[in-house]
């Protein structure tokens, strides 16, 4: 019997379960989740993430997939994969409580010889210093009673070109045998599997990927701020620089950074550097300052634009287009649009939004119901802010019906459009 249990059935765990179920080689794919309503809906064929449709979930259920919240079911698995969130505390320090809880459930219920793989993004050393000791309690030994590896998730929600099967997978084990077994596990359903020399290198590789993006986005965001003050079109600058066929990769400015990875992962690396070496990772700290400051910068620009039209921000009708952190999905995790909305409300603006992917917007104590009639909302708005360029938007029509637009995505060109 070849059975796998996946701890966490969110944006990472459920696509992983799909990839395994589709192989036809698994007798049972267990999707473990602590939320009973998630388990109930999944077993009823109702998906809660954009990347897995109800029809695809129905196929999975016919291929041996089953959701569960019963820890005793972990004993049925030969392999257990941890795909739980790794957020930050309010202090900015890593919160590994979900990893600890999942690992404890595994330690209490796993069968002898189980391969345990951590996929949750974390700081270097977590697999060896946190997960391994928990699994070793009670006298269990690595390579005898269990095997352990780290393989960073690379899920990109909404990406139609790169799914779990054709995105290369990094695998680093706590031992040579653990690496060998983890490689064999992923090679069942992933086209390219890349072996790492150890868990720390695999953990750090994921942090490098997202720190690279975090820093370069901060660079172009700060360029956008300076270009505006100098009267230079930053979008044209990026277009021209992109004509160079080597040595340049285009990044684009925006209202901030969102999603679970870029706003979070670099802080894990920064935390570990400061904890172990006693000094800051200055690039990450500077990039964080720039990117987290963009929502306030956007609101400041909106205030200036309204002033140019003899309007005050307080009492102005402001319409936001796009609340999600990426286009064409419903994912609101860490979306900078949330902070933009909150700041506008704090400054007294009558803030509304239209987003076909988000019915109700909630952020802290702020709750806003989405507008149903876009034309009516555009007519009432003193200014429209494009925060996300969903394909569902007819921007030609939006431009014609809007008094003035502040475009943070560089999508539009018209006399009544001001670009970031």
User: Using one digit for the tens of pLDDT, what is the confidence trace for 292-350?
Assistant: 999 999 999 999 999 999 999 999 999 999 999 999 999 899 999 999 999 999 999 99
User: In CATH, what number is assigned to the domain containing residue 262?
Assistant: 1.10.1040.10
With bands split at pLDDT 50, 70 and 90, how would you rate the model's confidence at 261? confident
Same domain, residue pair 255 and 327 = no
User: Using one digit for the tens of pLDDT, what is the confidence trace for 84-114?
Assistant: 999 999 888 899 999 999 999 999 999 999 9
Task: Specify the number of domains making up the chain.
Answer: 3
Range of the domain at 357: 293-419
User: Using one digit for the tens of pLDDT, what is the confidence trace for 391-412?
Assistant: 999 999 999 999 999 999 999 9
Q: Out of 133, 162, 197, pick the residue that ends a domain.
A: 197
Same domain, residue pair 28 and 157 = yes
Q: Out of 157, 177, 197, pick the residue that ends a domain.
A: 197
Same domain, residue pair 155 and 228 = no
User: In CATH, what number is assigned to the domain containing residue 404?
Assistant: 3.40.50.720
Q: In this predicted structure, what is the pLDDT of residue 1?
A: 60
User: Using one digit for the tens of pLDDT, what is the confidence trace for 138-195?
Assistant: 999 999 999 999 999 998 888 889 999 999 999 999 999 999 999 999 999 999 999 9
User: Using one digit for the tens of pLDDT, what is the confidence trace for 22-75?
Assistant: 998 888 999 999 999 999 999 999 999 989 999 999 999 999 999 999 999 999
Same domain, residue pair 269 and 193 = no
Three-state SS across the chain?
CCEEEEECCCCCHHHHHHHHHCCCCCCEEEEECCCHHHHHHHHCCCCCCCCCCHHHHHHHHCCCEEEECCHHHHHHCCEEEECCCCCECCCCCECCHHHHHHHHHHHHHCCCCEEEEECCCCCCCHHHHHHHHHHHCCCCCECCCEEEEECCCCCCCCCCCCCCCCCCEEEEECCHHHHHHHHHHHCCCCCCEEECCCHHHHHHHHHHHHHHHHHHHHHHHHHHHHHHHHCCCHHHHHHHHCCCCCCCCCCCCCCCCCCCCCCCHHHHHHHHHHHHHCCCCHHHHHHHHHHHCHHHHHHHHHHHHHHHCCCCCCCCEEEEECCCCCCCCCCCCCCHHHHHHHHHHHCCCEEEEECCCCCEEEECCEEEECCCCHHHHHHHCCEEEECCCCCCCCHHHHHHHCCCEEECCCCCCCCCEEEC
Q: Out of 165, 197, 229, pick the residue that ends a domain.
A: 197
Same domain, residue pair 42 and 66 = yes
Same domain, residue pair 239 and 188 = no
Same domain, residue pair 172 and 260 = no
What is the pTM assigned to this prediction? Answer: 0.92
Same domain, residue pair 144 and 64 = yes
Same domain, residue pair 164 and 242 = no
* Residues labelled as active-site residues: 261
Same domain, residue pair 227 and 187 = no
Average pLDDT over residues 356-366: 91
């Amino acid at each position: 019997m070849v059975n796998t249990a996946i701890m966490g059935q969110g944006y990472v765990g459920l696509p992983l379960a799909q990839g395994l179920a589709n192989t036809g080689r698994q007798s049972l794919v267990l999707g473990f989740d602590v939320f009973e309503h998630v388990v109930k809906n999944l077993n009823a064929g109702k998906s809660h993430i954009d990347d897995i449709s109800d029809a695809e979930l129905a196929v999975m259920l016919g291929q041996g997939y089953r959701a569960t919240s019963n820890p005793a079911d972990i004993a049925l698995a030969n392999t257990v994969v941890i795909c739980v969130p790794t957020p930050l505390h309010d202090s900015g320090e890593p919160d590994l409580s979900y990893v600890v809880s999942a690992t404890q459930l595994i330690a209490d219920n796993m069968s002898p010889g189980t391969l345990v793989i951590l996929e949750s993004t974390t700081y270097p050393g977590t697999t060896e210093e946190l997960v391994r000791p928990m699994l070793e309690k009670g006298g269990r030994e690595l390579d005898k009673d269990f095997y352990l590896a780290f393989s960073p998730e690379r899920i990109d929600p909404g990406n139609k070109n790169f799914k779990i099967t054709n995105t290369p997978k990094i695998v680093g084990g706590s031992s040579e045998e653990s690496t060998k077994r983890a490689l064999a596990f992923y090679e069942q359903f992933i086209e390219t599997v890349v072996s790492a020399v150890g868990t720390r290198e695999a953990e750090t590789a994921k942090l490098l990927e997202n720190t690279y993006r975090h820093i370069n986005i901060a660079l172009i965001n700060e360029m956008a701020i300076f270009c505006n003050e100098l009267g230079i079109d930053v979008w044209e600058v990026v277009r021209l620089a992109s004509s160079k066929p080597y040595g340049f990769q285009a990044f684009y400015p925006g209202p901030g950074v969102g999603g679970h990875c870029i706003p979070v992962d670099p802080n894990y690396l920064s935390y570990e550097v400061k904890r172990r070496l006693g000094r800051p990772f200055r690039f990450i700290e500077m990039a964080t300052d720039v990117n987290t400051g963009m929502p306030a910068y956007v609101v400041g620009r909106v205030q200036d634009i309204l002033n140019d039209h003899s309007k005050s921000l307080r009492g102005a009708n402001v319409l936001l287009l796009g609340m999600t952190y990426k286009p064409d999905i419903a994912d609101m995790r860490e979306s900078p649009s949330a902070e933009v909305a909150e700041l506008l409300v704090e400054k007294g603006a009558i803030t509304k939004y239209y987003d076909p992917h988000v019915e109700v917007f909630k952020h802290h104590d702020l709750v806003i119901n989405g507008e149903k009639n876009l034309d009516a909302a555009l007519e009432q708005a003193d200014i429209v802010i494009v925060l996300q360029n969903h394909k569902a938007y007819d921007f030609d029509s939006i431009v014609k019906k809007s008094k003035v637009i502040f475009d943070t995505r560089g999508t539009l060109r018209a006399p009544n459009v001001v670009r970031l």
